[in-house]
């Protein structure tokens, strides 16, 4: 029932025109952050490296051609005396003292029982993770920039509200000064309202300090130091929010699934390492040592095949398979955790959106009543009917209502930004 109520709330909000997309100014800042923030550039380079590793793995299908040259001096060498006639004999040397060998060797994989294919598949899975890391960084960065952007608007508007409050109390202090001179008020009245002015000034200083910090964060993420031109606290979800609010669009869930797929390929690769490998080998070149002129260089070549298979590796292959199997299990739990976290965060965002919307609706009447109450109290105070405490209370209520309005609109923006982050919406491209 709760899910139905939540869905109806969102549908009603969307159909009522409450939700809208980011403005062009914010989109421009987000785009600048992608080109400026070093973390995005770092992950882009890492993705390029992963792409190169795919090509590297595919090159295992290609032959390896190597050249070599060796020289060996051997002494003594084998010799034999062979009779050549009555009373004569020759010495036959089977190997020269100076041995030269210049050749080119070829090694071509004929069949490796899927070992190279598993390496290529693993490299492709790693590329998916690397690309997802870029996407995740951009979504996080866009969320951060958006929050900073609306924080600047919120704090600037809060400062404006504080200025109006300080101005109001300053005028009230002047009225009290006139009444003190006429003998209609006490000095304690002026001291009290001056303390209130100082308190509001300190609150303004706090807002200004926060504003400066947010500007520093904006420069840190985008390289831009500027106050937003558009001062509207209005960022919300697109009209198709319900259709895109899918777990499979959440970047954390996507990345968890990619890590699981990568570990499964790694397990397959580990299992393939126990399989043999059939290679074609060949070489050609020039060397000496051939009879009858063992010092002369002669052209030679060799063609053959080799079959390599592991017999005993001290249990390392089995241990590698077991580690890979445990890695798959760990990533399965990681994917379940990412899905549970998404469900939890999504429910919290929906709850925040509902609560903020209710607060905004309640604050509308509060703004009306506090404005009327302050106007009447101010008139009564000028006529000497109301006390300065009545005036301060009415002004404080008005202040809270004005600041609450700005704060609730800001909270509504941040909730929508968090929804966009959870659902993987690229609102800066829409």
Do the beta carbons of residue 326 and residue 319 sit within 8 Å? no
pLDDT tens digit sequence for 293-313: 888 999 999 999 988 888 877
Q: At what angle do helices 187-222 and 24-36 cross, to 10 degrees?
A: 50
**pLDDT of amino acid 46:** 94
Give the 3-state DSSP-derived string for 217-272, with helices as H, strands as E and coil as C. HHHHHHCCCCCCCCCCCCCCCCCCHHHHCCHHHCHHHHHHHHHHHHHHHHHHHHHH
For residue 260, count CB atoms less than 10 angstroms from its CB and return exposed for 0-12, middle for 13-18, buried for 19 or more. buried
**Percent share of the chain, pLDDT over 90:** 47
- Measured from the Cβ of residue 212, the count of other Cβ atoms closer than 10 Å reads 11
> Sorting pLDDT into bands at 50, 70 and 90, what band is 380?
confident
pLDDT tens digit sequence for 16-39: 333 436 788 999 999 999 999 999
The sheet carrying 64-73 orders its strands as 64-73, 98-111, 277-287, 298-308
**Gyration radius of the chain's alpha carbons:** 40
Do the beta carbons of residue 367 and residue 405 sit within 8 Å? yes
The answer on pLDDT for 122 being more than 60 is: yes
Averaged pLDDT, 205-221: 94
**pLDDT of amino acid 298:** 93
The answer on pLDDT for 278 being more than 70 is: yes
The structural domains of the chain, with segments of one domain joined by +, span 2-68+111-282+315-429
Cα separation of 332 and 323, whole Å? 14
As a whole number of angstroms, the longest Cα–Cα distance in the chain is 157
Do the beta carbons of residue 108 and residue 32 sit within 8 Å? no
pLDDT tens digit sequence for 45-75: 999 999 999 999 999 888 999 999 999 999 9
Which residue would you say has higher pLDDT here, 409 or 171? 409
Is 0.85 topped by the overall pTM? Answer: no
Do the beta carbons of residue 144 and residue 221 sit within 8 Å? yes
Pick the CATH number of 2-68+111-282+315-429 from 1.20.1600.10, 3.40.462.40, 1.10.443.10, 1.25.40.10: 1.20.1600.10
pLDDT tens digit sequence for 324-337: 999 999 999 999 99
**pLDDT of amino acid 241:** 55
Cα separation of 337 and 257, whole Å? 11
């Amino acid at each position: 029932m709760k899910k139905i109520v939540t869905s109806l709330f969102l549908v009603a909000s969307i159909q009522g025109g409450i939700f809208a997309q980011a403005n062009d100014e914010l989109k421009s800042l987000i785009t600048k952050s992608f080109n400026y923030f070093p973390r995005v550039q770092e992950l882009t380079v890492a993705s390029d490296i992963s792409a190169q590793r795919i090509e590297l793995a595919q090159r295992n299908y290609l032959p390896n051609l190597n050249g070599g040259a060796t020289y060996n001096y051997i002494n003594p060498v084998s010799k034999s005396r062979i009779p050549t006639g009555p009373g004569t004999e020759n010495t036959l040397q089977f190997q020269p003292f100076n041995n030269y060998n210049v050749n080119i060797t070829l090694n071509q994989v004929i069949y490796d029982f899927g070992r190279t294919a598993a390496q290529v598949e693993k490299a492709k899975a790693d590329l998916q993770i690397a690309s997802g890391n870029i996407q995740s960084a951009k979504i996080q960065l866009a969320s951060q920039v958006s929050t900073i952007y609306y924080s600047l608007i919120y704090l600037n508007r809060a400062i404006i509200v504080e200025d109006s409050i300080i101005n109001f109390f300053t005028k009230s202090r002047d009225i009290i000064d006139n009444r003190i001179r006429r003998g209609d008020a006490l000095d304690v009245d002026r001291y009290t309202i001056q303390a209130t002015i100082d308190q509001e000034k300190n609150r303004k200083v706090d807002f200004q300090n926060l504003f400066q910090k947010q500007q520093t964060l904006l420069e840190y993420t985008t390289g831009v130091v500027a106050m937003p031109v558009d001062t509207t606290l209005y960022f919300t979800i697109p009209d198709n929010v319900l259709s895109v609010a899918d777990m499979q669009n959440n970047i954390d869930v996507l990345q968890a699934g990619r890590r699981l797929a990568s570990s499964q390929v790694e397990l397959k690769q580990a299992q393939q390492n126990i399989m043999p490998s059939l290679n074609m080998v060949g070489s050609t070149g020039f060397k000496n040592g051939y009879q009858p002129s063992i010092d002369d260089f002669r052209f030679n070549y060799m063609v053959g095949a080799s079959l390599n298979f592991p017999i005993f590796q001290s249990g390392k292959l089995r241990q590698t398979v077991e580690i890979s199997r445990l890695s798959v299990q760990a990533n399965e739990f990681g994917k379940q955790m990412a899905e549970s976290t998404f469900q939890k965060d999504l429910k919290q965002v929906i709850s925040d959106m509902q609560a903020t919307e209710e607060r905004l609706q309640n604050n509308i009447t509060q703004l009306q009543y506090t404005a009327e109450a302050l106007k009447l109290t101010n008139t009564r105070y000028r006529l000497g009917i109301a006390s300065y405490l009545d005036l301060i209370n009415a002004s404080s209520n008005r202040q809270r209502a004005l600041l609450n309005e700005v704060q609730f609109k800001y909270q509504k923006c941040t909730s929508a930004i968090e929804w966009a982050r959870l659902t993987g919406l690229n609102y800066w491209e829409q």
